[in-house]
Structure 1
Amino acid sequence: MQRFLVLANGKVFAGTAFGSTKSIQGEVVFNTGMTGYQEAITDASYYGQILTFTYPLIGNYGVNPDDYESGTPKPCAIVCHEIARRPSNWRSTMSIADWAAAEDLPGITDVDTRALTREIREDGVMQALLVDEVTPSVLAKAASLRPATNQVANVTDQVMPATRSAFAGTIRVAVLDFGLKDSILRALKQRGLECVVFPADTTAAAVLAADVAGVMLSNGPGDPESLPAVLPVIRELEDKLPLMAICLGHQLFALANGAKTFKMKFGHRGFNHAVRNLQDGSIGFTSQNHGYAVDANSLACTKLTITHEEINDHTVEGLRLANHAAFSVQFHPDAAPGPHDYANLFDQFKANIVAHQKEVQHA
């Protein structure tokens, strides 16, 4: 069955349907990863987006239940040049086409994804429609689409609090869920930390009442400026407990401390982004998925210091708050999938918690 991806700028890309055949609208973005399609498709940071894979063959090692980052697919559709119809891997339980059909996820293959990616790089990410036919009314609708707001409300854990790990560690940390990846919880668990997950709209008082020793701000979708109610909560928590923030959490941490954010032309989405540690000059490769970034020019009047930057476009990739055990990174040190070059940041978070506990005991 032929389907069409209709961009807001009027360009149309034809392809073949797989998975669900419902018509959808969303922001079309691209991911440059050669692997990790399953982790990307279940990453809540892609909620409401049409996810384009630049790698030409997707699904060659199939799908398995162990590599989910959340319980269900989060993009509203996926776009591929070619999908593997006979996956080959001992862990595979089904093909990507069967998975998409089972999860009601629309897909389109046989698309010229190189041309589509060039379109996004030139004009920026934009809204688009996935439809069965192209008519004047469809083109007019595509041109008038507007981005959704506050996507976090659609992906945050609704239970308060929810323990997402059965592991009972000696140190409990609160995780504010803005669209949490399970790999963040796994990274914390590996370091002996018990995670208690709170919805995005939780108050600071509720977090502190849970007798936690540290706070993690998770990744998530959408514009950080659509969550103003979270900022005073972050300020109160960072004054009382060690804090680490990742991706959207990093942007919210920056906003809470007086910085500004901006929407990037086409963002960073992939598993090979080189980042420089400005503290020692070393370079590591990172997994990234974000369409917004912290404005470096807005940091001068804050107490934030840049600790990491992307080596190609100098995007702010890490921040530290003066006189606080609080820091953030734009990339994913949990590396699911991707390189583990910055996994030690979770060790730094735990070390900050242990040091803070000792200070409290001796106070």
Structure 2
Amino acid sequence: MKGYLQLESGDIYEGNWLTNHILEDVSGEIVFFTGMTGYQEVLTDPSYKDQIIVFTYPLIGNYGINEEDFESNRPHVAGVIVYEANEEASHYQAQYTLKQYLQKWNIPLLSHIDTRSVVKKIRNSGSMPALLTKSYPKEINVPKLCEDNKVSKVSTSQFETFGAGSIHIVLIDYGKKESILSSLLERNCKVTVIPYHTSFQMIRKMNPNGILLSNGPGNPKNLQSHLPTVKELITHYPTLGICLGHQLVALSLGGNTKKLLFGHRGANHPVKDEKNNIVFMSSQNHSFYVDKDSLIGTNLKGRFYNLHDQSIEGLVHDYLPIQTVQFHPEANPGPAEGAYVFDEFLNMVKENNRSNVAYA
């Protein structure tokens, strides 16, 4: 059955539906992911909430979907576009094919689209609203993007504690990936996962040793009302911010964020660590970045930088125990070369507890 992708620019691409029962048009922001593998983690990463994802690798789905590599309990993408989807799963752990998994959640899968052409359009014109439809569009009718608070759609609604280690980390869930939680548990932490809107007073009663601000979807400025809480937390506890968490730290201390033309999404982005003078490949998924010029007077300074466009990939504070990264140190999918960020964070937490630093 024929299906169509229409971009806000007016470009129309014809493909084939692989999933059935597409009852109505599906809209969202169209973005692309530059990885050969890792589609299961991408589909279930809450940071992709309401986005239509184009996979640049020409064959997706050959190892299927298993029960081990989910980053959340459901997919969050609005739709999926591939050149070719393998309808058989070759891996011994596979429980579903890509088609079966997406169909289970009523998420459209459109194949045999000229993905190279689509990606070139996005790279030149930027990520934009797009529409997946059953019939050939006779006019441009792509809905505008809804600039709502997407974090509220993906954050947990309850308090949950995992592990029993001596270091207690409160993980604020803006749309966390499960591998962030598992990275802390592997390092013998006790972790309490909490809703994104939890008050500072309630968090203080939990007596944490450190705070982790997670990744999540959407524009960080949609969380302006939560910035005072973020500021209180990062000036009272050792803090690690990842992706959206990194951006919220910058905003809470007076910095600014801007939107990238087409974002960073993939498992092959080179990052330089200025402190250790090393370069490594990283996993990334974000549309916004921290503006370097806006950091003047914030006591924040860049430590990590993207070697493609020199955008800031991580911050440290002049005197507070704060560390942030724009990339995903837990990877999944992607290289794990940046995982030492978790070790540095926990060493910072331990050192702070030993020295009993007095906070402002």
Q: How does the TM-score come out when normalised to structure 1?
A: 0.96
Secondary structure, in 3 states, of the residue corresponding to 1:19? coil
Q: Does 2:284 match 1:288?
A: yes
Give the Cα–Cα distance (whole angstroms) in 2 for the partners of residues 315 and 183 of structure 1. Answer: 25
**Who is 1:219 aligned against?**
215
Give the Cα–Cα distance (whole angstroms) in 2 for the partners of residues 146 and 325 of structure 1. Answer: 37
Give the Cα–Cα distance (whole angstroms) in 2 for the partners of residues 88 and 140 of structure 1. Answer: 40
Q: Does 2:194 match 1:192?
A: no
Secondary structure, in 3 states, of the residue corresponding to 2:57? coil
Can you give the 5+ residue segments of structure 2 that lack an aligned partner in the other structure? none
Q: Does 2:13 match 1:17?
A: no
- 46-55 vs 95-104, greater mean Cα deviation: 95-104
Matching residue's letter, 2:63: Y
Secondary structure, in 3 states, of the residue corresponding to 1:65? coil
The CA deviation at 1:178 is: 0.6
**Who is 2:2 aligned against?**
2
8 Å contact 1:19–1:102 — kept in the other structure?
Answer: no
The CA deviation at 1:15 is: 0.9
Secondary structure, in 3 states, of the residue corresponding to 2:36? coil
Cα pair distance change 1:121/1:360, threshold 3 Å? same
Give the Cα–Cα distance (whole angstroms) in 2 for the partners of residues 214 and 11 of structure 1. Answer: 48
**Who is 1:162 aligned against?**
160
Secondary structure, in 3 states, of the residue corresponding to 2:248? helix
**Who is 1:145 aligned against?**
144
Matching residue's letter, 2:291: D
The CA deviation at 1:337 is: 1.3
Matching residue's letter, 1:308: F
8 Å contact 1:213–1:241 — kept in the other structure?
Answer: yes
Can you give the 5+ residue segments of structure 1 that lack an aligned partner in the other structure? none
**Who is 2:63 aligned against?**
61
Give the Cα–Cα distance (whole angstroms) in 2 for the partners of residues 361 and 258 of structure 1. Answer: 23
Cα pair distance change 1:361/1:291, threshold 3 Å? closer
Matching residue's letter, 1:344: Y
Q: Does 2:237 match 1:241?
A: yes
**Who is 2:253 aligned against?**
257
Matching residue's letter, 1:46: Y
Cα pair distance change 1:19/1:235, threshold 3 Å? same
Pick aligned residue for 1:326 from 322, 335, 340? 322
Secondary structure, in 3 states, of the residue corresponding to 1:259? coil
Cα pair distance change 1:95/1:199, threshold 3 Å? same
Matching residue's letter, 2:294: S
Q: Does 2:86 match 1:84?
A: yes
Pick aligned residue for 1:178 from 174, 177, 192? 174
8 Å contact 1:62–1:87 — kept in the other structure?
Answer: yes
RMSD over aligned Cα, in angstroms? 1.5
Secondary structure, in 3 states, of the residue corresponding to 2:94? coil
**Who is 2:301 aligned against?**
305
Identity %: 36
Secondary structure, in 3 states, of the residue corresponding to 2:241? strand
Q: How does the TM-score come out when normalised to structure 2?
A: 0.96
Give the Cα–Cα distance (whole angstroms) in 2 for the partners of residues 59 and 153 of structure 1. Answer: 30
Deviation per residue, 1:317-357 (Å, 9 max, x gap): 01011211111000000011111111111011111111121
